[in-house]
Amino acid sequence: MACAAALLVALVLLLGACSGETGQGPDAPRDEPEPRGETGSSTPDPETTAQGPPKITLGEEPGGQPEVVLRLEGGPKTTFSGLCSVGDEQNVLDGRVPKRFTFDPGERQLSCRIQKRDEGRGVLRIILIAGDTTRSVQQTNSPRGIINISHSG
């Protein structure tokens, strides 16, 4: 008789498993997909755009020399003036740090002479970057100090 009862319990459990019932009460959570567009969902659908992310390149562009960047940094009251030449072109630089100047010398030489204009002891620092590489860092803290810097491709 015990054998028949065990067989009956096993049969009931097997039928319950096949019917999809979990044996949990009616308040038990279920894994059911939430219907779209109804008030239960607070997350909007992701937007799609026709354009991809912006293209970022470092260093030289194919077929050309890298651009050259001069970054002038220093104390908050540090002022400067100077002259940069690329071939026969001359550019006057002046202002208060921080400043950034970009040049496209190609295969010509870039040559700059920049003077610290204020009388204070603050630092004037010039960083020359070609492509994605820092090529030179020079600084002066002398009043009216001069920095000469050049770069050739």
Residue numbers of the domain that contains 93 = 68-145
Q: What angle do CA 70, 63, 50 make, to 5 degrees?
A: 90
**Virtual torsion, Cα 35, 39, 43, 48, nearest 10 deg:** 70
Q: Is residue 87 part of a domain?
A: yes
Q: Is residue 97 part of a domain?
A: yes
Q: Which amino acid is at 144?
A: R
Q: Using one digit for the tens of pLDDT, what is the confidence trace for 52-88?
A: 444 433 444 444 567 999 999 999 889 999 999 998 9
Q: Is residue 85 part of a domain?
A: yes
Q: Is residue 105 part of a domain?
A: yes
Q: What is the pTM of this model?
A: 0.57
Residue 57 CA to residue 36 CA, distance in Å, equals 41
Is residue 135 a contact partner of residue 103, using CB atoms and an 8 Å limit? no
- Kind of pairing between the strands at 99-103 and 146-152: unpaired
Look at residue 133 and tell me whether its pLDDT is greater than 80.
yes
Q: Using one digit for the tens of pLDDT, what is the confidence trace for 36-55?
A: 444 444 444 444 444 444 44
For the chain, how many structural domains are there in total? 1
Of the CA atoms within 13 Å of residue 94, those in its CB half-sphere come to 4
